[in-house]
Amino acid sequence: MAGSNRYINATAFSWAPLPSGVAINVDGVTQVAIDPGAKSVMFKGDGDTHASFKAVIENDPRISVRAANVLALLTIPQGVAGTVNFLLNHAKTRAGSGAIAFTATNCMRVDNSISMPHGGFAEGATTFETYSTDGVTSPISYSVVV
């Protein structure tokens, strides 16, 4: 959709074990967050009181998902490498054309928590850590759905 770059609601979230396996689909997604995990170093010397040089030396991406489908999140085994896929829907079309498709390879669940408020819906929160196959290529990629 030309001229519109607004997105709403992550959907079609799934995790599948590597090298190939049956995907675990997670519905009821309320939030997905991508943290690039960037780490930088700085240099300052002589009379510098502020950094006079900085460089990014490390990236350690993480993906977190919150969802009402607690059972699906609990089913994802800890420490097993897999692939995460999800869509960030275009605000006008809601899915399909204009959506952003995210894929994270070499992705493993490291953390899982459940919130169970009295008189409210339970929600699970899961964090995935990723790693690169060659140490250079990001394990997280995205493309616009045409």
The residue extents of the domains of the chain are 7-144
Comparing CA positions, the residue from 75, 68, 71 lying closest to residue 21 is 75
pTM of the predicted protein model: 0.88
**What is the arithmetic mean of pLDDT over 44-66?**
95
Q: Tell me yes or no: is domain 7-144 CATH 1.10.3430.
A: no
Report d(CA 73, CA 51) in Å as an integer: 43
Tokens of 53: 């040089």
103, 140 contact by CB (below 8 A): yes
pLDDT tens, residue by residue, 57-99: 999 999 999 999 999 999 999 999 999 999 999 988 876 788 9
